[in-house]
């Protein structure tokens, strides 16, 4: 189990509690510090390629082995799949992320990047994100984890390499709409923009996107109160171009 919000995230603890309730032996290995937006990058946080690992005890989870890792979640998932934290995992859970991960921008998410990395290394994986609005009171972490539990069981019973991206509305338990399978939106409610280069510096900002969301997409269905699930494929070759005469 990992995330990109860091080892102290309440969303991570909620997901661990859910895994334990399902009866699954659980190991947590998460970034020592927040690592959002790192995608599937294989980057150590410091000291070049030497990765510091600190054993932790998570509050309320005394029987869970937990490790604070000075690396981004993609590298943590890769290490786990190569036995870095004990036995190779059958299932990698990533989250619960603070904020939705919808649309093609999931490419940049550290939470989703960890799941994709696990998938191409032979594990099953589920990324879980909670659609938390800025300035809202304490998010419904446990409700989000529990809402995703059936999808976690589905992934666990699926073929190796299965990766599911799950988004949950930030509402109390039992208040979400039905689970809907969804395609990726072009954009969600927010997108990143890059300001003009001035004096050798540019800035990246997040702006809200106006207008109607694309019907049937993860962004639109999540906005309508549904738990959304999107099966993701990681990198693969373009068969059409490979089969063209060159």
Residue 182 has pLDDT above 70, yes or no: yes
Could you read off the pLDDT of 74-88 as tens digits, one per residue? 999 999 999 999 999
Higher-confidence residue of 13 and 209: namely: 13
Band of residue 100 on the pLDDT scale cut at 50, 70, 90 = very high
Residue 53 has pLDDT above 90, yes or no: yes
What confidence score (pLDDT) does residue 13 get?
97
What confidence score (pLDDT) does residue 96 get?
97
Mean pLDDT of the chain: 90
The predicted model gives 1-7 an average pLDDT of: 96
Higher-confidence residue of 100 and 244: namely: 100
What confidence score (pLDDT) does residue 140 get?
96
Band of residue 178 on the pLDDT scale cut at 50, 70, 90 = very high
Lowest mean pLDDT among 26-40, 81-95, 137-151: 26-40
**Beta carbons of 61 and 27 less than 8 angstroms apart:** no
Domain ranges for the chain: 10-185+214-237
List the beta bridge partners of residue 228.
167, 180
Q: Which CATH number does 10-185+214-237 carry?
A: 3.40.1210.10
What confidence score (pLDDT) does residue 34 get?
84
Band of residue 134 on the pLDDT scale cut at 50, 70, 90 = low
What confidence score (pLDDT) does residue 234 get?
82
**Beta carbons of 161 and 155 less than 8 angstroms apart:** no
Residue 29 has pLDDT above 80, yes or no: yes
Residue 95 has pLDDT above 60, yes or no: yes
Q: What is the DSSP letter of 213?
A: P
- Strand, coil or helix: 5: coil
Both tokens assigned to 118? 């696990």
Instruction: Measure CA 76 to chain center.
Output: 13
Peptide bond preceding 96 in cis form (omega within 30 of 0): yes
What confidence score (pLDDT) does residue 46 get?
60
Nearest CA to 67 out of 79, 59, 57 is that of: 57
What confidence score (pLDDT) does residue 191 get?
65
List the beta bridge partners of residue 93.
126
Largest CA distance in the chain: 61
Report CA torsion sign: 32, 38, 39, 44. Answer: negative
The predicted model gives 218-234 an average pLDDT of: 95
């Amino acid at each position: 189990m990992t995330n990109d919000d860091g080892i102290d995230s309440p969303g991570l603890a909620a997901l661990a509690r859910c895994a334990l309730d399902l009866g699954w032996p659980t190991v947590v290995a998460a970034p020592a510090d927040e690592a959002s937006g790192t995608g599937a990058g294989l980057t150590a946080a410091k000291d070049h390629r030497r990765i510091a690992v600190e054993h932790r005890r998570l509050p309320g989870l005394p029987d869970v082995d937990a490790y604070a890792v000075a690396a981004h979640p993609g590298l943590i998932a890769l290490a786990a799949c190569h036995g870095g934290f004990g036995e190779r995992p059958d299932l990698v859970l990533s989250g619960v992320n603070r904020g939705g991960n919808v649309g093609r921008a999931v490419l940049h998410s550290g939470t989703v990047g960890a799941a994709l990395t696990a998938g191409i290394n032979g594990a099953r994986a589920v990324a879980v994100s909670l659609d938390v609005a800025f300035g809202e009171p304490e998010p419904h972490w446990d409700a989000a984890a529990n809402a995703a539990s059936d999808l976690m069981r589905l992934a666990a019973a699926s073929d190796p390499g299965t990766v599911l991206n799950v988004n949950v509305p930030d509402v109390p338990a039992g208040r979400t709409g039905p689970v809907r399978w969804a395609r990726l939106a072009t954009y969600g409610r927010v997108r990143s923009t890059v300001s003009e280069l001035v004096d050798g510096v540019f800035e990246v900002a997040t702006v809200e996107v106006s207008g109607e969301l694309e019907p049937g997409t993860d962004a639109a269905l999540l906005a309508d109160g549904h738990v959304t699930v999107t099966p993701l494929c990681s990198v693969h070759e373009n068969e059409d171009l490979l089969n063209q005469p060159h």
